[in-house]
Structure 1
Amino acid sequence: MKKILIKNAQLVNEGVVQQQDILIEDTLISKIGADLSHPEAYIIDAEGLHLFPGAIDDQVHFREPGLTHKEDIATGSRAAVAGGITSFMEMPNTNPQTTTHEELQKKFDIAQETAYANYSFMFGGTNDNLEEIKKIDPKTTAALKLFLGSSTGNMLVDDEKVLEQIFTHSPLLICTHCEDEETIRENLAQHIKEYGQDIPIEKHPDIRSAEACYLSSSSAIKLAKKTGARLHVFHLSTAKEMELFDNSLSLREKQITAEVCIHHLWFNDTNYGEKGTLIKWNPAVKAKADQETLFQALLDDKLDVIATDHAPHTLTEKQNSYTKAPSGGPLVQHAFQAMLEFYHQGKISLEKIVQKMAHNPAILFDIKSRGYLKEGYKADLVLIDLNKPYTVTKDNILSKCGWSPFEGTTFSSTIEKTFINGTLIYDNGIVLERGKPEQLRFDR
């Protein structure tokens, strides 16, 4: 049984920052306290460093199977551990789509052999797989994912009767992508009529509009209230949608919860001129007022979770004209550092970052023994130097797509070490051997 003793770290956990030591034995945190010692432990002196629970990213697209020229589970999870993300939940819009239990098991099998971080997968809902949904095991599958506005073929759930049945019978938390497809189609048609296929990227938030987001989000929330379903709305992007969410209850008491992604906090529509289609996402990056309202809603606990929606495409694909350039971008490697940059700017506390990136995902998804620095919990840990600058360059990007919207950015903080289940996986810029990442288990 391996033993590691991390000494003199500033632990960030459950609303407190304090200097403590942590003893890791095998896969678990066995003891937390001051002046710990153990005769057999390998000692890491973390003087001047902060120790965080590993981030849990509830929304990534690692593109396997079927789209592995962009990313795969191995490369995506390597980038994640380099960014301090120790557990991920991957989305079902792969090829083939994860809408049957056979395809779901295939992804678990791939991850068991290739993932660098702990893993789970979401099951995809469609207009015609209700019986498959009913058979989902809540203890082994992260959630049910519904695309209520998208261009992913059969994964667009637009049959209202089926949708109500899914909300009524889902054995899992339902996670939704909310944009009204009819509104988007009308907006796109108008812009094609005016500009042809080469629509200016600055028009993206007019096409994937705030109205389209609000119509879909409000409809999903109304249905959740009608059926009693547990609903988690992904990647909120507008100020208006914040009217739909509540902060009067604790996270454990909420039936309807919400998420914001890194790119909607970091970018706004003034960045399209410089970044172009590299920051084309669905939902779109919108106005500065939306960005500012989202950030305040995060601080006020209307928004419960920070995620990445890591969705890489090749640079060649992204550099197409507006109508041909796909939406999405790689974010897992730099999400933690981006949030820490907001800390350096005085906009958010370390404790709040940990709450939204580690504690709350663990609570929301009922993840067993992760998301906290606690004795008896899995030793998913991240050591960070808050005062060591790190510049994103092509040479240190680990995502298979080979680019980042943060390229050229210098962050004030550096991810020094990442531990997965007690094993050092990432150390000072180098991803080590895989170790033994585990399938996430859920206390449901």
Structure 2
Amino acid sequence: MKRILIKNARIVNEGTIVEGDLLIEDKFIKEIGSSISPKTSDIQIIDAEGNYLIPGAIDDQVHFREPGLTHKGNIETESRAAVAGGITSFIEQPNTVPNAVTQELLEQKYQRAAEVSYANYSFMMGGTNDNLEELMKTNSKNVAGIKLFLGSSTGNMLVDDEAVLEKIFSNTDMLIATHCEDETTVRENLEKYKAQYGDDIPMKYHPLIRSEEACYISSSRAVALAKKTGARLHVFHLSTAKETELFTNKIPLEEKKITAEVCIHHLWFTDEDYDKKGSLIKWNPAVKTAGDREGLWKALLDDRIDVIATDHAPHTLEEKQNPYTNAPSGGPLVQHAVVAMFEAHHQNKISVERIVEKMAHNPAKLFRVEKRGFIREGYYADLVLVNPGLPWNVKKENILYKCGWSPFEGANFKSRITHTFVNGQLVYNNFKVKNIQCGERLLFNR
């Protein structure tokens, strides 16, 4: 039986920070206490030296590109980067090649992850205009939810038949996660700028093409449909202050049927960064104004927004260097998401307790993840040690994404992930990922 004793940690859990020790036994947290003495000689002791011990982050939206797009990334490479960044569980999206829109194709992704994933995993079942029967076969106990693209993005999985949407919303008790951008508005805006610039549209116009109006029209329709049908709706990657008005903070998360997520890039960058970063910060939905960023932060902190995620979506640098209309949207983020939020903590924008709430506790509550997302005795030992005073610089040599770049390249972070444990195994230690692919399939209490 493998035992690890973590001593002298600042344990961050459920709104408190307590100095103490934690004992891992095999896959699980065996004991939490103010001072735990080793009872056997075969125990490994790690001195946390007063650093933060947090539950591993659960990233509810990633694109790891396998199958079919593995020149950009794959489950092995991107999960490896994730554990280096303190993300111990991920939920991957269906817009791979082929799209995960049948139970057979969905299960193939699970089988592959079981072979190669460093982190725990789940995969969304993809909805289309004509696969309602397949959607209804989805097992709510071992699949995170159903993903619907209400605006087109990478993978061409647009669901734009309103009758079909209502059937999906009415006929499943699964969580429905949506990408919300109004397709008609986006296309009209794109044609206007193409008429002026051709394919080489300046990148700064991306947030005017993928506009506030496009986002709000789609998000408001999805929320209205969820209210009409009683569906369980989770709106991915809010990018505008206006959209936050659609969500409430008046009831506990466990009672909410309509929830929202914000991503790291929408909390970090603004449209002023396009001149410097160009297509490296081209996402769908687009990074927008400083006012939008401020509104997203406000909604995150007052609990209208429930979850922080990454929408990790790698592309090669060569692909990103294409003219606007051919430069794909998305970027890699899992390795730098947690430390980016700790940087926001250093800037007095958010407490460490709230980072843990939004990146670990709330995803676990929202998806009803079994025995993960908290530091509790009997829970899986998915744990991360963070040194808040160990500065480092993001550079090509320490970027682990298969695509080899990061929108944070050149950034200096004050905090560093020093250790990551997945299912009780120390998989990452100070810039080194161990060859321990011990990720397990997430299960859900539904």
CA contact (8 A) 1:142 1:365 kept: yes
Give the deviation of 1:39 after TM superposition: 2.6
Secondary structure of residue in 2 paired with 1:155:
coil
Note the 1:79-228 alignment, pairs <5 A.
79-152=81-154, 155-228=157-230
What is the TM-score when the length of structure 1 is the normalising length?
0.99
CA contact (8 A) 1:120 1:142 kept: yes
Q: Deviations along 1:304-342, whole A, 9 cap, x unmatched? A: 000000000000100111111000000000000000000
| Equivalent residue, structure 1, for 2:362 | 360
Secondary structure of residue in 1 paired with 2:259:
strand
Structure 1 residue 276 corresponds to structure 2 residue 278: yes
Q: Deviations along 1:167-214, whole A, 9 cap, x unmatched? A: 011231000000000000000000000111110100000000000000
Give the deviation of 1:38 after TM superposition: 2.2
Q: How far, CA to CA, are the matches of 2:117 and 2:44 in structure 1?
A: 26
Q: How far, CA to CA, are the matches of 1:105 and 1:433 in structure 2?
A: 25
Q: How far, CA to CA, are the matches of 1:415 and 1:345 in structure 2?
A: 18
| Equivalent residue, structure 1, for 2:387 | 385
Give the deviation of 1:151 after TM superposition: 4.0
Give the deviation of 1:435 after TM superposition: 4.3
Give the deviation of 1:350 after TM superposition: 0.3
* Uncovered stretches (5+) of structure 2, i.e. residues with no partner: none
| Equivalent residue, structure 2, for 1:313 | 315
Q: How far, CA to CA, are the matches of 2:156 and 2:239 in structure 1?
A: 24
| 153 and 83 in structure 1: CA distance in 2 versus 1, 3 angstrom threshold | closer
Q: Deviations along 1:257-314, whole A, 9 cap, x unmatched? A: 0000000000000000100010000000000000011001100000000000000000
| Equivalent residue, structure 2, for 1:229 | 231
| Equivalent residue, structure 1, for 2:26 | 26
Q: How far, CA to CA, are the matches of 1:436 and 1:180 in structure 2?
A: 40
| Equivalent residue, structure 2, for 1:35 | 35
CA contact (8 A) 1:126 1:154 kept: no
CA contact (8 A) 1:83 1:415 kept: yes
Q: How far, CA to CA, are the matches of 2:103 and 2:390 in structure 1?
A: 45
Q: How far, CA to CA, are the matches of 2:153 and 2:248 in structure 1?
A: 30
CA contact (8 A) 1:233 1:259 kept: yes
Give the deviation of 1:34 after TM superposition: 1.1
CA contact (8 A) 1:423 1:435 kept: no
Give the deviation of 1:242 after TM superposition: 1.1
- Aligned residue identity for 2:130: D
What is the TM-score when the length of structure 2 is the normalising length?
0.99
Structure 1 residue 56 corresponds to structure 2 residue 27: no
Q: Deviations along 1:4-62, whole A, 9 cap, x unmatched? A: 00001000110001101000000000100011012322111111211000000000000
Note the 1:321-360 alignment, pairs <5 A.
321-360=323-362
CA RMSD of aligned residues (A): 0.8
Structure 1 residue 297 corresponds to structure 2 residue 299: yes
Q: How far, CA to CA, are the matches of 1:322 and 1:63 in structure 2?
A: 22
| Equivalent residue, structure 2, for 1:402 | 404
Q: How far, CA to CA, are the matches of 1:382 and 1:422 in structure 2?
A: 11
Give the deviation of 1:238 after TM superposition: 0.3
Q: How far, CA to CA, are the matches of 1:298 and 1:436 in structure 2?
A: 32
Percent identity, please. 65
Note the 1:8-27 alignment, pairs <5 A.
8-27=8-27
Give the deviation of 1:152 after TM superposition: 4.9
Q: How far, CA to CA, are the matches of 2:96 and 2:154 in structure 1?
A: 10
Which of structure 1's runs of 4+ aligned residues deviate more than 2 A?
151-154
Q: How far, CA to CA, are the matches of 2:296 and 2:173 in structure 1?
A: 30
Q: How far, CA to CA, are the matches of 2:198 and 2:168 in structure 1?
A: 38
Give the deviation of 1:389 after TM superposition: 0.3
* Uncovered stretches (5+) of structure 1, i.e. residues with no partner: none
Note the 1:61-72 alignment, pairs <5 A.
61-72=63-74
Q: How far, CA to CA, are the matches of 1:153 and 1:185 in structure 2?
A: 17
| 138 and 104 in structure 1: CA distance in 2 versus 1, 3 angstrom threshold | same
